[in-house]
Amino acid sequence: MNKTININLSGIIYHLDEGAYENFNLYLNAIKDRLSHEEGGAEIVADIESRIAEIFSMRLSEGKRQVVTQEDVDFIISTLGRPEDFAEAAEETETTQTETKRRFFRNPDETVIGGVCSGIAAYFNIDVVWIRVLFLVLLFFTGIGFITYIILWAAIPEAKTTAQKLQMRGEPVNLGNIEKKFKEFEAQGKAFGKKFKNTPRGFFDFITNTIGAILGFILKFFGVVLAIVGSVIAFTLIVALIGVFGSTWNLGGFDFIDINGYIYGMDGAQALFGSGWRLMSLRVGTLLTLLMPLFALVVFLAKLFGKSVSNARLLSFSGIASFIIGLILIFISAGSLATDFKERSTEVEKITVQGNSLVLEADILEESTGFLFDIDDDQLRVENVRFNIERTNDSTAHLELKHSASGRNHAEARQRAQRFDFKTEQTGETLRLSEYFSVPEDALYRGQDLKVTLRLPVGTTVFLDPSLENIIYDLENVQNLWDGDMLGHTWIMTERGLDCADCPVIEYYSAEDLEETIEEELEAMDDEIDRKIEELELEIKRLKDR
Partner 1 sequence: MKIENTKAQMRKGVLEYCILGILSNGDAYASDIIEHLKNAELIVVEGTLYPLLTRLKNAGLLEYRWEESTSGPPRKYYSLSTEGKAFQKELKSTWDALQKAVEHITTSN
Interface residue list for partner 1 (CB under 8 A): 9-12, 31, 35, 38-40, 43-44, 47-48, 50-51, 53-54, 56-58, 61, 78-83, 85-90
Q: Which residue type, as a one-letter code, is found at position 323?
A: F
CA-to-CA distance for 4 and 64, rounded, in angstroms?
17
Q: What is the total residue count of the chain?
A: 546
52 versus 122: smaller Cβ distance to partner 1: 52
Q: Is 86 or 387 the residue whose CB approaches partner 1 more closely?
A: 86
- DSSP-derived secondary structure letter, 158: B
Q: How far is the CB of 2 from partner 1 (least distance, A)?
A: 24
Query: How far apart (Å, rounded) are the C-alpha atoms in residues 326 and 284?
Result: 7
- Closest approach of partner 1 to the CB of residue 20, in Å: 18
To the nearest 5 percent, what fractions of the chain are helix, strand and coil? 55, 20, 30
Q: How far is the CB of 62 from partner 1 (least distance, A)?
A: 10
Residue 70 half-sphere exposure toward CB, CA atoms < 13 A: 11
**Distance spanning both ends of the chain, measured CA to CA:** 115
| Residue 298 Cβ vs partner 1, minimum distance, rounded to whole Å | 52
Residue 139 or 175: the one with the smaller Cβ distance to partner 1 is 175
User: Which residue number, 79 or 494, has a Cβ lying nearer to partner 1?
Assistant: 79
The torsion of the CA quartet 181, 186, 190, 195, rounded to 10 degrees, works out to 160
Return the number of the residue (53 or 450) whose C-beta is nearest partner 1: 53
> Do 164 and 109 touch, CB atoms closer than 8 A?
no
Angle between helices 312-338 and 144-155 (to 10 degrees): 140
Question: Least distance from C-beta 116 to partner 1, angstroms?
Answer: 41
Rounded to the nearest whole angstrom, what is the least distance from the CB of residue 159 to partner 1 in the complex? 30
Closest CA to 269 of 368, 372, 356: 372
Question: Which CB atom, from 9 or from 486, has the smaller least distance to partner 1?
Answer: 9
Which residues, including other chains, have CB under 8 Å from residue 207's CB and lie 6 or more apart? 109, 185, 188, 189
Please tell me the distance from the alpha carbon of residue 290 to that of residue 165, in angstroms, as a whole number: 35
Shortest Å, Cβ 66 to partner 1: 16
Q: Smallest gap, in angstroms, from Cβ of residue 230 to partner 1? A: 56
Q: H/E/C letters for each residue in 380-400?
A: EEECCEEEEEEEECCCCEEEE
| Closest separation in Å from C-beta 68 to partner 1 | 13
Whose Cβ is closer to partner 1: residue 9's or residue 397's?
9
The 3-state DSSP class for residue 131 equals helix
Residue 51 or 313 having the CB closest to partner 1: 51
Q: How far is the CB of 57 from partner 1 (least distance, A)?
A: 4
Quick one: angle between helices 200-246 and 277-304, nearest 10?
150
Minimal distance, residue 49 CB to partner 1, in Å? 8
Contact 360, 423 (CB under 8 A): no
Question: Residues with Cβ < 8 Å from 62, sequence gap 6 or more?
Answer: none
* Nearer CB in complex with partner 1: 58/524: 58
Spatial CA neighbour of 52 closest among 89, 77, 86: 77
Helices 277-304 and 144-155, interaxial angle, to 10°?
70
Of 40 and 459, nearer to partner 1 (C-beta) is 40
Measured CA to CA, the distance from residue 132 to residue 148 in angstroms comes to: 13
Which one, 42 or 524, has the nearer CB to partner 1?
A: 42
Contact call for residues 357 and 249 (beta carbons, < 8 A): no
